[in-house]
């Protein structure tokens, strides 16, 4: 502790905070059963490193359960250890941990799967109750008492604003270069003649402060840590994901040829994973140039494009970096200052901002149906995978909304394109393009029947096309604007449950 205190001395630059250092165990002892805790963190970056473990130990010992609100997913030393020790009563708005997922699907943890732009608004409205404690990781505390976040901003500003008490987890290993990379803007309450326009007209222009403003009187304690962020897995493209990327790039190139986009495209938002990495990698060798990124998360591929001169500026709310980039983060931050900025997720994901900028959005689907509805969250319509995240914020409001998926799963036994999705996260009204390794379907300006024929032909795996056409033809014979045979709409899923394959008439059990 003494060594950490010595390292923290230069990072706590306001005397009102100097005598607030406590152990993680003491801070955890302040938590009571039923409390709500707002934690920093988004895609494993910027989460508290030692407080969650101390809270988990407290829960294991005393049997308390708390509500955990965050920006998005946290790692094994936060979501994982808290779920393992039965510390969580309610979790929102997003998660991606296998232990927590099991607890959610088993009914042990209540889970609210929210659009990521909605959490802050509902906290302002009082819908989600009060925040008892905000626990926020910091790189420094400035002379004027601002908290400098680390690798994410997420929902931290609203948590600090609404919390009764604040605990700062000061990470002495966080690069000093974090200071100056954040742009913290907090909207006023909703209402006529109250909230002004969110002034993001150029994503590279600052609109807020370098840190999170906090009343020193609300800060009950400062916990010290020296652990780095957990690297995100680096998803290397395979043959299928590379084909998806090629098809998506082909679509964008056609948009340029048709005069609907320039070679600078429009501000890009991408999900994370192998497809996103393949798309970003492909852009390095494309004719696209001077691209702006307006996303939630910045992953390795974005920085490759900045280095290549393809991306000129990138705005998001968090990092999601591989071990390679985590290791060189301190020097990289200095290099990318002026080209990267982090804002609260209610700004990056705000419908007003997304619509104004005309974002091109591409995210991953679990399954899509022939009419363009998308399931992003529920396996077989019942079991939560991760959550909707920010995909809905972008899908409804983007200039072009693209969903990508491999056409099959489970070694080809499951078709990702089905007659009817088992859970609807994104209605077909919000979906412009579906891309698989088989091809892409541009749904814009087409009726439901035209869409179905196009999705079956261009996106579905050949082994499922015949049975899809048979379903569609028989449904059309019954009539309707969006033809279905309700008694058969989920027959493919039912067949898989009984026979281990969606290929009708075959069995692998």
The model's pLDDT over 72-117, given as tens digits with 9 standing for 90+, comes to 999 999 999 999 999 999 999 999 999 999 999 999 999 999 999 9
pLDDT recorded at residue 268 = 98
Q: What is the mean pLDDT of residues 337-350?
A: 98
Q: How much is the pLDDT for 329?
A: 87
What percent of the chain shows pLDDT beyond 70?
Answer: 100
Sorting pLDDT into bands at 50, 70 and 90, what band is 223? very high
Can you say whether the dihedral through the CA atoms of 85, 2, 325, 301 is positive or negative? Answer: positive
Per residue in 481-502, pLDDT (tens digit) is: 999 999 999 999 999 999 999 9
pLDDT tens for residues 427-441?
999 999 999 999 999
% the chain with pLDDT above 90 = 92
Q: Is the Cα torsion angle 144, 150, 153, 157 positive or negative in sign?
A: negative
Question: What are phi and psi for residue 198, nearest 5 degrees?
Answer: -75, 115
Burial of 213 (0-12, 13-18, 19+ CB in 10 A): middle
Structural domains counted in the chain: 2
Q: Does the pLDDT value for residue 1 go beyond 80?
A: no
Q: Is-contact 37 31, C-beta < 8 A?
A: yes
Tell me: do 185 and 324 sit in the same domain. Answer: no
Does 60 share its domain with 163?
A: yes
**Bridge pairing between strands 146-148 and 212-213:** antiparallel
Q: What is the mean pLDDT of residues 328-357?
A: 95
Same domain, 378 and 272: yes
Q: Please list the residues that pair with 441 across neighbouring strands.
A: 434
Evaluate if residue 445 carries a pLDDT over 80. Answer: yes
Length of the chain: 509
* pLDDT of res. 76: 97
Which residues are bridge partners to 408 per DSSP? 415
Q: Which residues contact 146 (CB under 8 A, 6 or more apart)?
A: 209, 210, 211, 212, 213, 214
In this predicted structure, the answer to whether residue 60 has a pLDDT above a threshold of 80 is: yes
Smallest CA-to-CA distance from 115 within 159, 67, 155 is with 155
For residue 133, give the H/E element and its range.
strand 131-138
Quote the pLDDT of residue 6. 87
pLDDT of residue 309: 96
Q: Are 278 and 241 in contact (CB under 8 A)?
A: yes
pLDDT of 95 reads: 98
pLDDT range class, residue 182, cuts 50, 70, 90: very high
Question: With 80 as the cut, is the pLDDT of residue 407 above it?
Answer: yes
Rounded to two decimals, the pTM is: 0.97
Q: Is 296 a catalytic residue?
A: yes
* pLDDT computed for residue 7 by the predictor: 87
Tokens matching residue 281: 């990698």
Residue bearing tokens 């998803």 = 235
Q: Are residues 219 and 249 in the same domain?
A: no
Whether residues 70 and 174 fall in one domain: yes
Q: Tokens at residue 155, please?
A: 């929902």
273: confidence class by pLDDT, cuts 50, 70, 90: confident
Instruction: Judge if 60 and 128 occupy the same domain.
Output: yes
Does any domain span residue 10?
yes
Q: Using CA atoms, how far apart are residues 190 and 352, in angstroms rounded to an integer?
A: 13
Q: Is 478 strand, coil or helix? A: helix
Alpha-carbon distance values, 117 to 113, 348, 394 (Å): 12, 8, 10
Q: What is the pLDDT of residue 13?
A: 97
218 shares a domain with 254: no
Residue 275: the pLDDT is 85
Last residue of a domain, one of 225, 257, 280: 225
Residue 331 in this model has a pLDDT that exceeds 80:
yes
Q: For residue 236, what pLDDT is reported? A: 78
Task: With cut-offs at 50, 70 and 90, classify the pLDDT of residue 509.
Answer: confident
120 in Cβ contact with 393 (< 8 Å):
no
Question: What is the DSSP secondary-structure string of 432-471?
Answer: -EEEETTEEEE-TT--HHHHHHHHHHHHS-HHHHHHHHHH
CATH number for the domain spanning 278: value is: 3.40.1080.10
Same domain, 217 and 267: no
Residue 481 resides in a domain: no
**Bridge partner list, 435:** 404, 440
Beta pairing partners, 368: 374, 417
Tell me: do 401 and 366 sit in the same domain: yes
Mean pLDDT of the chain: 97
pLDDT at 233: 83
Helix (H, G, I), strand (E, B) or coil at 247: helix
Q: Is residue 499 assigned to a domain?
A: no
Where residue 423 falls among pLDDT bands split at 50, 70, 90? very high
Q: What is the pLDDT of residue 237?
A: 82
pLDDT tens profile 117-135: 999 999 999 999 999 999 9
Helix (H) or strand (E) holding 169: strand 163-171
- Asked whether residue 320 is domain-assigned, the answer is yes
Say if residue 140's pLDDT is above 90: yes
Domain boundary among 225, 252, 281: 225
Count H helices and E strands in the chain, helices first.
18, 27
State the pLDDT at residue 361. Answer: 98
- Active-site residue identified among 296, 346, 367, 437: 296
pLDDT of residue 398: 99
Burial 3-28 (b: 16+ CB within 10 A, else e): ebeeebeebbbeeebeebbbebeebb
Residues 248-260: what's their mean pLDDT? 98
End position of a domain, from candidates 170, 191, 225: 225
* pLDDT given at position 277: 84
What is d(CA 368, CA 436) in angstroms, rounded to the nearest whole number? Answer: 10
Angle CA 412–385–244, to nearest 5: 45
Angle 448-459/462-478 helices, nearest 10 degrees?
160
Together in a domain, 194 and 256: no
92 lies in some domain: yes
- Show Cβ contacts of residue 169 under 8 Å, excluding neighbours closer than 6 positions: 24, 48, 49, 50, 51, 135, 136, 137, 138, 222, 223, 224, 225
Q: Note the pLDDT of residue 429.
A: 98
Domain-located, residue 231: no
CB neighbours of 237 closer than 8 A, spacing ≥ 6?
Answer: 245, 274, 275, 277, 278, 281
pLDDT digits (tens, 9 = 90+) for 22-47: 999 999 999 999 999 999 999 999 99
∠ Cα 269 272 278 (to 5°): 90
What angle is formed at CA 103 by the lines to CA 97 and CA 104, rounded to 5 degrees? 85
Q: Which two tokens stand for residue 468?
A: 């899809």
In a domain, residue 233? The reply is no
pLDDT of residue 437: 98
Residues 350 and 377 reside in one and the same domain: yes
**452 and 420 fall within a common domain:** yes
**Is a pLDDT exceeding 80 seen at residue 235?**
no
Would 506 be classed as within a structural domain?
no
Containing structural domain, residue 203? 2-225
Q: Which two structure tokens, joined as six digits, stand for 392?
A: 């809905």
């Amino acid at each position: 502790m003494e060594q950490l205190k010595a390292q923290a001395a230069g990072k706590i630059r306001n005397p009102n905070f100097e005598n607030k250092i406590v152990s993680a165990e003491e801070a955890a002892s302040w938590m009571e059963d039923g409390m709500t805790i707002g934690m920093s963190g988004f895609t494993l970056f910027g989460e508290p490193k030692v407080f969650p473990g101390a809270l988990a130990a407290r829960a294991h010992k005393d049997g308390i359960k708390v509500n955990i609100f965050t920006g998005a997913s946290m790692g094994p030393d936060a979501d994982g250890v808290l779920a393992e020790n039965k510390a969580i009563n309610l979790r929102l708005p997003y998660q991606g941990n296998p232990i927590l997922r099991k607890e959610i699907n088993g009914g042990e943890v209540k889970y609210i799967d929210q659009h990521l732009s909605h959490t802050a608004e509902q906290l302002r409205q009082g819908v989600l109750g009060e925040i008892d404690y905000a626990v926020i990781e910091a790189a420094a505390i400035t002379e004027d008492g601002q908290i400098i976040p680390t690798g994410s901003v997420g929902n931290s500003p609203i948590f600090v604003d609404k919390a009764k008490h604040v605990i700062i987890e000061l990470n002495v290993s966080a690069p000093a270069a974090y200071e100056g990379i954040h742009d913290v803007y907090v909207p006023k309450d909703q209402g006529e003649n109250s909230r002004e326009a969110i002034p993001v007209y150029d994503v590279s222009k600052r609109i807020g402060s370098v840190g999170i403003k906090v009343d020193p009187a609300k800060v009950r304690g400062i916990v010290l840590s020296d652990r780095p962020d957990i690297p995100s897995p680096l998803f290397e493209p395979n043959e299928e994901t590379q084909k998806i990327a090629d098809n998506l790039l082909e679509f964008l190139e056609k948009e340029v040829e048709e005069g609907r986009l320039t070679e600078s495209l429009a501000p890009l938002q991408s999900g994370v994973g192998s497809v996103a990495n393949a798309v970003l990698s492909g852009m390095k060798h494309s004719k696209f140039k001077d691209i702006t990124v307006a996303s939630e998360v910045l992953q390795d591929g974005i920085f490759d494009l900045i280095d290549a001169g393809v991306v000129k500026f990138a705005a998001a709310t968090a990092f999601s970096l591989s071990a390679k980039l985590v290791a060189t983060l301190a020097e990289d931050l200095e290099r990318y200052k002026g080209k990267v900025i982090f804002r609260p997720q209610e700004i990056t994901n705000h419908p007003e901002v997304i619509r104004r900028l005309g974002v091109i959005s591409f995210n991953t689907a679990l399954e899509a149906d022939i009419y363009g509805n998308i399931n992003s969250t529920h396996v077989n319509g019942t079991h939560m995978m991760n959550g909707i995240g920010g995909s809905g914020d972008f899908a409804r409001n983007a200039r072009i909304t693209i969903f990508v998926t491999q056409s099959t799963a489970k070694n080809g036994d499951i078709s990702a394109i089905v007659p009817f999705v088992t859970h609807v996260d994104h209605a077909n009204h919000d979906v412009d393009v579906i891309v698989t390794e088989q091809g892409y379907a541009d749904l814009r300006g087409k009726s439901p029947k035209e869409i179905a024929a196009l999705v079956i032909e261009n996106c579905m795996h050949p082994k499922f096309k015949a049975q899809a056409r048979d379903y569609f033809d028989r449904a059309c014979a019954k009539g309707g604007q969006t033809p279905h045979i309700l008694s058969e709409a989920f027959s493919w899923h039912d067949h898989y449950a009984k026979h281990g394959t969606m290929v009708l008439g075959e069995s692998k059990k």
